[in-house]
Each structure stands twice: as structure tokens, then as C-alpha cells.
Amino acid sequence: MSTVTQAPAPDESPVRSERPVYKVTSWRVLRSEWSKFWSLRSTWITLGLALLFVLAFGLIAAARYASQSEAGRPVEGHFAGATAVSLALFGISFGQLALGVLGVLVTAGEYSTGTIRSTLAAVPRRLPVLWSKAAVLALVALAVGGVGAFVSYKAGSHFLSGTPVALSLSSDGVVRSLLGGGVYLALVGVIGIALGAVLRSVAGGVAVLVAVLLLIPGLVALLPSDWEQDLGPYLPSNAGESMYGLSQSSDALSPGAGLAVLLCWTLLALAGAAYRLMRSDA
């Protein structure tokens, strides 16, 4: 007598994967943009150039002023009426171009390579991508600009010691001016982000950036004096100069007003970028 043992029927129910479900959150989008930001070779190059411009031109300006002062010659040209702070921040006008171009590359570069499609597919709401890119670059540019300004000031003080423009870090307005230089560079970088998102072209974004920061102020300077006094202080670059300037001329904005004007320009550029991002396909 034998017994037949019947094998249990195989379970035909579908096997469900235990793969975790990830949600798109602002923090994860920010981390993603942070990783992408540092993975680009252009990031390291432009940040290095921005820091080099701020430090090198600041030290050269301080050394040049010190040599003229020690030789007993009258200080002329850009150094007439200079202070230790203005000499330390002499390279801001060059550093702004590097960080502004980096902002354009961060956004327009994705459109030129086509990687923006995968980015927006992962973040369908779109706008968190723009805010995250702006936040990452603003934070990094603030750090680079602030460090560059303070190091340039401290290093340049060795050249300027004993000259009429020598100042200590505790002098009125010195820390505010140095921090203002870093904030200005951060906002210029965010404007570059917005221009890249609006124009979606690296060449176009860089061209508009240079026009806004350099060409338009030069053209306004050619206008009649009344027009120049009415329009000039409200241009982005001139408003920025009032932010980090140790002293302002009679027709310049106060540091607080300069910051408010530049913030308005930055928010206007970001609003245009947000509108283009939501209304147009990648």
C-alpha cells in the first residue's frame, strides 16, 4: 500500500516588488541640483576665476596705490579718492562676470545638451528646479565672494599699512561693505540663472548679461546729466556699487536702497524665468 503525496499548487499570485516609493520633495530637488552643480567642470573653472579676479585685482590695486603713496607721487586715475575697502573690492566688477556666466551655464547649459528634459520629467512641477538652482548658486557665490572680499582686504592691508587709506576691520562700514560685495555677487549669479532660463541659450544669456552689467551703464553715462542722475543709480551694477561702497556720492543710493533695487531686479528676472518655464516646453 502506497500513499501519494500531492505537491502543493504553486502560488500563482503576482509577486509584488518591495521597491520603495520616493516622493519628489523640495529638499530632494535641492540635493539633486547641488550634486549636478558640482559635477560640472565649468563650475570649478568659473568659481576659480571669480575668486582669482577678486583676489588678484584687489592685491594689485593695493600694491599699486602703496607704491604711488610711498614714492610721494599724487594718486591719480581709479585710485583717486580710494579707500582700503574700494581697493580690496576692485576685482568685483570682473568677478561678477564669472559668476554671472556660471549662472547662465547652469540653466542654459541643460537646454543646449537636452538634459533639461530628464530634469523636468523627474520634477513635473518645474518651478522647484528653478528655485533650487538659484538657491545653490546664490549660496556658493555668497561664500566665494565673501571669502574673496575678506581675504583681499586682509592681504591688501599689509601693503596699505601706514598709507592715508589704511583702515581696520572694526572701522565703520568696513564689514558691511565686504559682506555687501559677497551679496552682490550672489545676486548677479541668480540673475544669470534667470537669464539662462529665459533665453535658453548660453551665447544669448551671456550677451544680455554683459549688456546689463557693462554696456547699458556706459550708454546711460552718455545721456544728459539730468537723465543720468535719474536713471543711473537704479541700474543693477550701480545699485550693487552702492551696496558695497564704503561711502556714496550725492547722487548714489544708500546701501539699503541699493540692496532693495537689486533685489527687485533679481525677482523680476526670476519671475520672467518662472513664466517661461511654466508656459514653454523644454
Q: What is the pLDDT of residues 165-216, one digit of tens each?
A: 888 888 888 999 999 999 999 999 999 999 999 999 999 999 999 999 999 9
Encode pLDDT of 87-118 as tens digits: 999 999 999 999 999 999 999 999 998 899 99
SS3 labels along the chain = CCCCCCCCCCCCCCCCCCCCCCCCCHHHHHHHHHHHHHHCHHHHHHHHHHHHHHHHHHHHHHHHHHHHHHCCCCCCHHHCCCCHHHHHCCCHHHHHHHHHHHHHHHHHHHHHHCCHHHHHHHCCCCHHHHHHHHHHHHHHHHHHHHHHHHHHHHHHHHHHCCCCCCCCCCCCCHHHHHHHHHHHHHHHHHHHHHHHHHHCCHHHHHHHHHHHHHHHHHHHHCCCHHHHHHHHHHCHHHHHHHHHCCCCCCCCCCHHHHHHHHHHHHHHHHHHHHHHHHHCCC
pLDDT of residue 30: 93
Q: Where are the domains of the chain?
A: 26-279
Ranges 20-29, 79-88, 111-120, 125-134, most confident: 125-134
For residue 207, give the amino acid letter: A
Encode pLDDT of 58-89 as tens digits: 999 998 888 877 766 666 666 677 888 999 99
Task: Using CB atoms within 10 Å of the CB of residue 80, give its burial: 0 to 12 exposed, 13 to 18 middle, 19+ buried.
Answer: exposed
pLDDT of residue 78: 67
Confidence band of 5 (pLDDT split at 50, 70, 90): low
pLDDT of residue 13: 55
pLDDT of residue 68: 77
Cα–Cα distance, 92 to 111 (Å, whole number): 29
Cα–Cα distance, 12 to 211 (Å, whole number): 68
Q: Which grid coordinates belong to 45?
A: 573653472
Confidence band of 162 (pLDDT split at 50, 70, 90): confident
pLDDT of residue 1: 43
Encode pLDDT of 220-269 as tens digits: 988 888 888 888 899 999 999 999 988 777 778 899 999 999 999 999 99
Q: pTM of this prediction? A: 0.88
More confident residue, 49 or 8: 49
